[in-house]
Every structure is written in structure tokens, then in C-alpha cells.
Structure 1
Amino acid sequence: MTQHVDVVVVGGGQAGLAAGYHLRRQGLDFTVLDADPAPGGSWQHMWDSLHLFSPAEHSSLPGRLMPAQAGMIYPDAGHVVDYLADYEKRYDVPVQHGTRVDAVRRDGVRLLVETDTGTWRARAVISATGSWSRPFLPAVPGRSTFAGRQLHTVHYRCPADFTGQRVVVVGGGNSGAQVAADLALDGQVEVTWVTQRPPRFLPDDIDGRALFDVATARRRALEEGRSDTGGVASLGDIVAVPPVRAARDAGLLVAKPMFARLTADGVRWDDNSHTGVDAVVWCTGFRPALAHLAPLNLRSARGHIPTDGTRALGEPRLHLLGYGDWTGPASATLIGVGRMAREAAAGIAAMVAG
């Protein structure tokens, strides 16, 4: 049976919930389809020690401040999951958990959304699937021959899984620094951190609040035709959250240049020296999870879908929310997604009314 609504939101994490909040305020009939069986989005899959970059009050979705976590300045991932679950319930966002969207297709004046539990016809679709389900692994020489354990950030949980082992952590962003710090501070793991370029730490007083302000200032400058401020990238790559700062200041977080190749039992460096390794943790980022939109044939050579704000240029009934700056400054953050969700909902409401 095919069901009809004004809007289908694909993804029930922070971006999908923010979209639901604003769609309801616009008076639109909508549903949210989410592949996860429980609320919390990708936060329910994070590693044990992960904390937000910002205090709770600066990490909130529209309409409801995140409550502080007892004894914590920066809440942990479990607290975020609880907040998102409460948000979903408080605003009665109609999320259908355990529903995987396979494809979105054009179907006359509507879009057809095919799932593993049925089909929906909608006047508009908001894709809010993020990137956590699509980890990126680089084509490093020897990766297929390494006999040790290889895992991506999405599969990392805690240092106890590597007690007594030699671990290489690859990646110069926040995930790489945090995982390397987590392992190094444990004291029971021999850690080598490698990066493509020397790591750039942001000043210690910079957290998510400041980053959001910087991203907003860049957006405002571009909209007003002023020079590009460079945004967050101009400041650095790594937020010095307390564990990262502690490991760095203790001399435990010193990056080495990227190795030349993996061997069966370790890594070989550019000078042909060799280091034995038991495991490699690839903190090498993600790509947007857009396979469900393939039938629309909208992706550019870079893998992104060209947009004006959140609206897809090649399909005005489609909006993309929460994938990063190309769908709105800071739109992949809790505090930043609300503004773009509001704009998407307003645009859809105007289209439906027209």
C-alpha cells in the first residue's frame, strides 16, 4: 500500500528531528523514516569516551535547550542520545524507526519514496541521513595485505579492546586526535598517531560555541558579498577538548607523517624503516550517505548534490539537511542544524501553498 503525505524526511537523527519540529510549525503533514531501531541517530553508535565540543546549553535543537549533564561541562554521547529521544517524544515527531529508505524517484507531481516496509508519495522530501553510515577508507598501499585488525572510527569503542597492543591511529581531524588521546591516556596501549600534514590545534579557549559563531560570520559575509573569512578552517582542524589537551600537554599526542605502506605485520615508513603493528584505526572521515537518491541522478563529480541553501538545484522538491557546509554553515552540528531546518521547512511550505 502506498501512503501519501506532504513531506517525507529520510533520517531521524538530529537533522531529521529539527526538520520535524519546523515542518509541524508550518502545519505540514509529514513522516520521518529512520533506519535505526531506536532514537538517538548516530550518537548511539559513538565511542565510549566521546564528549561534545560545547556545553549543553550551546548544543540544542530548536525549541528545547539540552539540559546540563551532572558533573560534566561537555556532555557525553549517552546524554545526547537521551536528549534526542526526549526531544522526539516531547514534540511527538512521527518517526518510524527500523524503516530503511531504499530509493527516491520522480513520480509525476510527487516523489516516490521506496522503503523496506512500504512506499510513500510526497510533495517534497528532506534527506537527512548524514554520513555516519558511509565511512571512508583511503586506498593506502598494502591495506589488503595487513594481517592485523583494521577498523574505522565507527567501530572504535574503548582502549580496553587494545590492551597490550601496538596501535596506529590514522587521521589529523577531531576523531583522530580524540581516539589517539583516548588510547594514549589509558597507558596500556602503544599508540602511534599519523597524519597527512602536521596537526593544527585550535586555541584552547575555542569550543563549539565559537565555531558556530565563526561559521555564521562566514555565511553572513558571503551573503553580503564581502570577502570570504575562511570560516572554521582558517582557525585549525582539532578542537582541544580536555582529553586531547591532557594528552598533548603530557607529550603523548605527537603526530608522525603518514607511513608509506602497510605490510603484513606493520607499517613501512618513507625511510624504509618498519614498525610492527597489531591494529590500525582509520579516523579518515566519511562521505555523505546519498545512495537512496541515486535514481534522481543529481550528484556532481565531487559526490555532492548541488544546492541553493538546502534545496537541490536539479530537483526543487528535494532538500538536503545536515551534511556539512555545502548544505548550510554548521548544519552538521546540533546547534547549527536548526536554522537550515527552518529554511527548508519554510521553502517547502511555500511550494506546497503555491
Structure 2
Amino acid sequence: MILEASDQTAGSWPRYYDSLTLFSPARYSSLPTMPFGGDPDRYPRRDEVTAYLLRYAEHLDADIRTRSRVTAVRTDGEDFVLDLEDGSRLGARAVVTATGGFGRPHRPALPGPGAFTGTLLHVSQYRNPTPYTGQRVVVVGAGNSAVQVAAELARVARVSLASRTPVRFFPQRPLGRDLHFWLTLTGLDTAPLGRLQRRPATMAVIDDGRYRTALAAGRPERRPMFTAVDGPAVTWADNTTEKVDTIILATGYQPDLNFLAPLAALDQTGRPLHRDGASLAHPRLAHVGLEWQRSLSSASLRGVGRDARRAARRIARELRSR
């Protein structure tokens, strides 16, 4: 049984910003047994990924229940009881969390003596640049989403990209071949590095040249992180103050796994206690889709299938032994 909190089997993809495009070509963006289809060298957009996930779900031999948000998982002897948001309960011999690492937007506190009185949102709430036309906008962050959204907004607004560290770039097609070709060729894409990389590192922005050029031209401009917020204004590191209409936090996400709290399966930050996806709290609890769960590609369409097979084999062995 698959329990999906939303009303369709496409995960978070329908809610991402309109222009979001995969970094990996279609040939490297498939789940097991079903190729993405179309030109294998194209970079699929958000709506293509959503449609692909819906097609994939149609071919699964599983009981899929949408609008079924789990609020708590508890033990019942060796088994589990799942509490759902609608008040119902389900029993299970094993549980796999597949909510990924992007369910809970990270919203750090803004510096300064007061609250920001303009529009403050996380990048998860951003859809397209139209509502921000003519505004003064600050995008906070130095990762892929921050740079992409800031560059898109800079076409219609005056935009600053504020970050504590400079933006680092990595070419999307080194030596004329897509990055994922080289990751696959070298084995880095599947190498079991998760135990070494316990927390996601700050990744370089994958760029085909557009974003480096945009920042070099000041569209958007990159500035050190502002030091204070007070009312409608921000104070920059050089002590200048200016009014800002909108601040967009492109500050990442955290796993949305609070429903596992009754199992004592999370650390103090809300991240699961696991080894390569195998829970350290219960032998029949597993995880898939977490960043750096086991490898660089664990949280991606191309890599989650490998971790899913490991989880399935482990749970099957555990069930047979009981």
C-alpha cells in the first residue's frame, strides 16, 4: 500500500516553480523499468516530470491511496500502527518512508532588530516572476534554486542575490558531455558515500553558462548577506539601508518525518537515524529518497531505485526471519 498525502501520485513536483528543469537529461532521469521517453538528451521540465510520475504510478501493482497523510507511526508489538489525518488507522508489518528530503522548507530567522514587513516567502511558494514585476527583490541563498529564481526574476525586477559565501559554478557539460555521463562513467553517481557525507554539502550551481553570465552582468547582482532587517528595509554589510518589497528564502529543505517521533527514530534535528536507509530504531523501518542516503544520486529519479531495491530486500529478509 502506498499512502500519498496529496491528491495525485506525483509527489512535490506539481508544486515546484513553473520553469524548473531537471539537471539530468531524460536518459538519466528514469525510475526502474520505465524509460522517460522522448529525446534522451533533452532536459525535462517540471510538467513533464509530473506527467511521467503519474504514468509510472498507473503501472504499479499496488494499492495507492491519495489524500492519505500519515500523522504518526507507532509500534504494536513487532508491527506498526499508522494514524492518518482523517482519523483512521492502518496496521503494517513494515514501513518505508518515501517522503524525500524536500517536504519541510527551511526558514532561518532573519537578522536584525525587527520583523520584515514586506513580502517574505520560501522558494517553495514561488511560481513565476509575474507578481514581482517592478519590485525590489532579495533572494537569499547560493544554490541552484536561488540562482535560477534570481536570474528569472531579474528580467522583470531589480534583484539582489544575498549569500554568506560566493556562488560556485560547475559546468553542466564538461568536455562536451553532460555531467551525468561522467558521473556514471566514473562510478561516482553510485558510490556508497552516504556514510561519509552525513549532512548535505553546499552544492555548486550546475550551469550551462547562462547563470554565470547573468551574475557577471549584475542581473541579478550578488551581494554579501544583509546584516539586519527592520520593517520594510534591509541593512547591507556596507551599512547602507534600502527598502525591499520581497525577500525569497532559497534556503533549502529538511525531511518531513515528524510522524516517526513516536518511534524515537529521529535525531534532534528531525533527521532519521539510519544506515544506508535502514532505520537504527526498528528493523522493519526503512527510508528511500533522502539526500546522501547512500550515494550522490539517492535523492534523484535516476538513483532512488537502487536504494529502494536494497530496502525491499532487507525488509523481505526481516519478515521471513520472524
Q: TM-score, normalised by structure 1?
A: 0.81
Counting only pairs closer than 5 Å after superposition, residues 128-277 of structure 1 correspond to structure 2 as 128-142=98-112, 145-184=115-154, 186=155, 188-205=156-173, 209-210=180-181, 213=184, 216-217=187-188, 220=191, 236-241=203-208, 243-245=210-212, 247-248=214-215, 250-277=217-244
- Residues 288-344 of structure 1 deviation map (CA, whole Å, 9 limit, x = unaligned): 101110101122234322212111112111101111103543211111111000100
Match in the other structure for 1:116: 85
Q: 1:281 aligns with which of 248, 265, 280?
A: 248
Cα deviation for residue 52 of structure 1 reads 0.4
- Which shifted more, 199-208 or 96-105? 199-208
- In 2, distance between residues paired with 1:203 and 1:254? 20
- Residues 39-69 of structure 1 deviation map (CA, whole Å, 9 limit, x = unaligned): 2110100101110001111111011111136
Structure 2 letter corresponding to 1:109: E
Q: Residue 105 of structure 1 aligns to a residue in which SS?
A: strand
> Are the counterparts in 2 of residues 32 and 95 from structure 1 also a CA contact under 8 Å?
yes
- In 2, distance between residues paired with 1:313 and 1:196? 35
Match in the other structure for 2:12: 42
Structure 1 letter corresponding to 2:152: D
Q: 2:278 aligns with which of 311, 323, 345?
A: 311
Q: Residue 154 of structure 1 aligns to a residue in which SS?
A: helix
Please state if 1:84 is matched with 2:53.
yes
Count residues with an aligned counterpart. Answer: 317
- In 1, distance between residues paired with 2:132 and 2:185? 38
Please state if 1:324 is matched with 2:295.
no
Match in the other structure for 1:16: none
CA spacing shift, 1:321–1:274, aligned 2, 3 Å: same
> Are the counterparts in 2 of residues 55 and 68 from structure 1 also a CA contact under 8 Å?
no
Match in the other structure for 1:107: 76
- Residues 180-215 of structure 1 deviation map (CA, whole Å, 9 limit, x = unaligned): 11112x2x2110111110111112425562585499
- Residues 136-169 of structure 1 deviation map (CA, whole Å, 9 limit, x = unaligned): 1112224862111011011001110101100000
- Residues 8-39 of structure 1 deviation map (CA, whole Å, 9 limit, x = unaligned): xxxxxxxxxxxxxxxxxxxxxxx000110112
Cα deviation for residue 86 of structure 1 reads 0.3
- In 2, distance between residues paired with 1:238 and 1:272? 29
- In 2, distance between residues paired with 1:258 and 1:247? 19
Structure 2 letter corresponding to 1:200: R
Structure 2 letter corresponding to 1:42: S
- Residues 270-304 of structure 1 deviation map (CA, whole Å, 9 limit, x = unaligned): 22211221000000011110111010112223432
Match in the other structure for 1:9: none
- In 2, distance between residues paired with 1:309 and 1:165? 45
Please state if 1:351 is matched with 2:318.
yes
- In 2, distance between residues paired with 1:144 and 1:170? 18
Unaligned stretches of 5+ residues in structure 2: none
CA spacing shift, 1:73–1:249, aligned 2, 3 Å: farther
CA spacing shift, 1:64–1:281, aligned 2, 3 Å: same
> Are the counterparts in 2 of residues 69 and 79 from structure 1 also a CA contact under 8 Å?
no
- In 1, distance between residues paired with 2:192 and 2:62? 35
- In 1, distance between residues paired with 2:230 and 2:309? 50
Return the structure number with greater helix share.
Answer: 1
- Which shifted more, 244-253 or 32-41? 244-253
> Are the counterparts in 2 of residues 321 and 327 from structure 1 also a CA contact under 8 Å?
no
> Are the counterparts in 1 of residues 114 and 230 from structure 2 also a CA contact under 8 Å?
no
Structure 1 letter corresponding to 2:247: V
Match in the other structure for 2:2: 32
Give the fraction of aligned pairs with identical amino acids, expressed as a percent.
37
> Are the counterparts in 2 of residues 68 and 75 from structure 1 also a CA contact under 8 Å?
no
| Structure 1 runs of 4+ with >6 Å offset | none
Considering only aligned residues, what root-mean-square deviation do their CA atoms show, in Å?
2.8
Q: Residue 345 of structure 1 aligns to a residue in which SS?
A: helix
Q: Residue 325 of structure 1 aligns to a residue in which SS?
A: coil
- In 2, distance between residues paired with 1:318 and 1:275? 51
CA spacing shift, 1:215–1:256, aligned 2, 3 Å: farther
Q: 2:36 aligns with which of 60, 63, 66?
A: 66
- Which shifted more, 123-132 or 141-150? 141-150
Q: TM-score, normalised by structure 2?
A: 0.89
